[in-house]
């Protein structure tokens, strides 16, 4: 319990630093923050009103605490373009992004971990080399090139999947999966490569341990040896990589959404860049960073499940 509390409290400084960075980005960038928040179409009065409501004439620390106070109450500001609250705009777009992220993670873990285990077991063989080669290739191609390649092959040519768009789960499971299959594969390949490499290297390390030799000597089956003895001990670094890789995953999802015209957070990011809508981008940064921190907190707490030596 003590550990749990400590780990929970450790989240606060990280989020505080994220808030300071986002705040300083706006206030240290060249140009008047009120003009940036007001956007290109704002009149002199609009800008004066923004200055007044955000208190931009007051000293920086005071502004910061006022701003943080607003965020803690769930007020992420107002969009320059639509005039809607940023929090509401993000909530409207969150569903597709959550689905893609979750399915991408599932897809990557389901394929990458067995691939890594087999590659470690058969280290140095053609299978191992092929996995390493694929991983280097996945690291070398931008997500959208993979995405457009898949669209060209499987949608335009073969017609197996829709070219773009998103269907909610309430529209039926089959259309939902058909629309998400290609985005998940194209966004997941790089994450899969990362996980497969990590699984391979930690498994290699574990397989060199004495207790593995003992287990092998007493005649355990390959399956039992790999899954019970080796994987369980390799689980902690693998789970850590799954957590830390979330930042990479989210970056991939943001780009992928653009390729497949999926109305998620990524699409909102691109729209906001075009409209120079800084408050919305700021809100997206805060929300994704919080999600990242929370997910990593959860993976940290999961360690106990995989490694009974860790006690909280």
Partner 1 sequence: MDTPMIALLEQRLERLRKQPRAIRFAARNPVLVAGAFLLLGMLALAVFAPWIASHDPTEMNVVERLKPPSAEFLLGTDALGRDIFSRTLYGARVSLLVGVSVAMFSALIGIFVGTVAGFSRLADKLIMRVMDGMMAIPGILLAVALMTLIHASVATVVIAIALPEIPRVVRLVRSLVLTIREQPYIQAAQATGTRLPLVLIRHVIPNLMTPLIVQASFIWASAMIFEAYLSFLGAGTPPEVPSWGNMMAEGRSVVQLAFGIILYPGIALGLTVLAVNLVGDGLRDLLDPRIARKL
* Residue among 157, 162, 188, 163 at smallest CA distance from 255: 188
Considering only 250, 262, 264, 268, the residue that binds partner 1 (CB under 8 A) is 250
| Max Cα-Cα span within the chain | 82
Structure tokens at 244: 């830390």
Sign of CA dihedral 212, 214, 217, 219: negative
Q: Is 204 in the site for partner 1 (CB under 8 A)?
A: yes
Sign of CA dihedral 60, 61, 62, 66: positive
Site string for partner 1, 17-56 (x = CB under 8 A): xx-xxx--xx--xxx----x--------------------
Instruction: Please provide residue 110's backbone torsions phi and psi, each rounded to the nearest 5 degrees.
Output: -60, -35
Q: Is 215 in the site for partner 1 (CB under 8 A)?
A: no
Helix and strand tally (H, E) in the chain?
14, 0
The nearer residue to partner 1, 145 or 169, going by C-beta atoms, is 145
Residues 6+ apart with CB under 8 A from 3: 311, 312
* Binding window for partner 1 (CB under 8 A); candidates: 46-54, 67-75, 150-158, 301-309: 150-158
The nearer residue to partner 1, 19 or 225, going by C-beta atoms, is 19
Residue 174's Cβ-count burial label (10 Å; 0-12, 13-18, 19+) is: exposed
Q: How far is CA 301 from the centre of its chain?
A: 18
Structure tokens at 308: 């009974």
Structure tokens at 295: 């997910």
* Binding window for partner 1 (CB under 8 A); candidates: 60-68, 102-110, 133-141, 300-308: 133-141
User: CB 87 → partner 1: shortest distance, Å?
Assistant: 17
Q: Is 247 in the site for partner 1 (CB under 8 A)?
A: yes
Q: Is 255 in the site for partner 1 (CB under 8 A)?
A: yes
The nearer residue to partner 1, 118 or 269, going by C-beta atoms, is 269
The nearer residue to partner 1, 14 or 220, going by C-beta atoms, is 14
Structure tokens at 186: 């194209």
* Residue among 206, 186, 213 at smallest CA distance from 116: 206
User: CB 274 → partner 1: shortest distance, Å?
Assistant: 6
Q: Is 273 in the site for partner 1 (CB under 8 A)?
A: yes
The nearer residue to partner 1, 235 or 283, going by C-beta atoms, is 283
User: CB 96 → partner 1: shortest distance, Å?
Assistant: 17
Provide the binding-site residues for partner 1, judged by CB under 8 A: 13-18, 20-22, 25-26, 29-31, 36, 136-137, 139-145, 148-149, 151-152, 156, 163, 197, 201, 204-205, 247-248, 250-251, 254-255, 258, 269-270, 272-274, 276, 278, 281-282, 284-285, 288-289, 292-293
């Amino acid at each position: 319990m003590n550990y749990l509390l400590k780990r929970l409290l450790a989240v606060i400084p990280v989020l505080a630093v994220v808030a300071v960075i986002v705040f300083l980005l706006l206030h240290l960038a060249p140009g008047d923050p009120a003009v940036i928040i007001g956007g290109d179409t704002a009149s002199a009065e609009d800008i004066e009103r923004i200055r007044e409501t955000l208190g931009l004439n007051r000293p920086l620390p005071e502004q910061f605490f006022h701003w943080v106070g607003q965020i803690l109450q769930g007020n992420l500001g107002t969009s320059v373009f639509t005039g809607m609250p940023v929090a509401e705009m993000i909530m409207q777009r969150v569903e597709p992004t959550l689905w893609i992220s979750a399915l991408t993670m599932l897809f990557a873990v389901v394929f990458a971990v067995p691939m890594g285990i087999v590659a470690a077991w058969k280290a140095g063989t053609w299978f191992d080399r092929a996995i390493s080669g694929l991983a280097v290739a996945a690291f070398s191609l931008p997500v959208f090139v993979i995405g457009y390649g898949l669209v060209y092959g499987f949608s335009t040519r073969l017609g197996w999947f829709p070219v773009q768009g998103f269907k909610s789960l309430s529209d039926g499971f089959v259309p939902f999966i058909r629309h998400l299959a290609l985005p998940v594969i194209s966004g997941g390949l790089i994450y899969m490569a990362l996980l497969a490499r990590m699984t391979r290297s930690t498994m290699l390390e574990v397989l060199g341990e004495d207790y593995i030799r003992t287990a092998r000597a007493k005649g355990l089956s390959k399956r039992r040896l790999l899954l019970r003895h080796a994987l369980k001990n390799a689980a902690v670094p693998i789970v850590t990589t799954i957590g830390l890789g979330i930042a990479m995953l989210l970056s991939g999802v943001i780009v992928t959404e653009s390729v497949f015209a999926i109305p998620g957070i990524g699409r909102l990011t691109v729209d906001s860049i075009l409209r120079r809508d800084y408050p919305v981008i700021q809100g997206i940064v805060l929300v994704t960073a919080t999600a990242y921190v929370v997910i990593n907190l959860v993976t940290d707490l999961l360690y106990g499940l995989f490694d009974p030596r860790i006690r909280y």
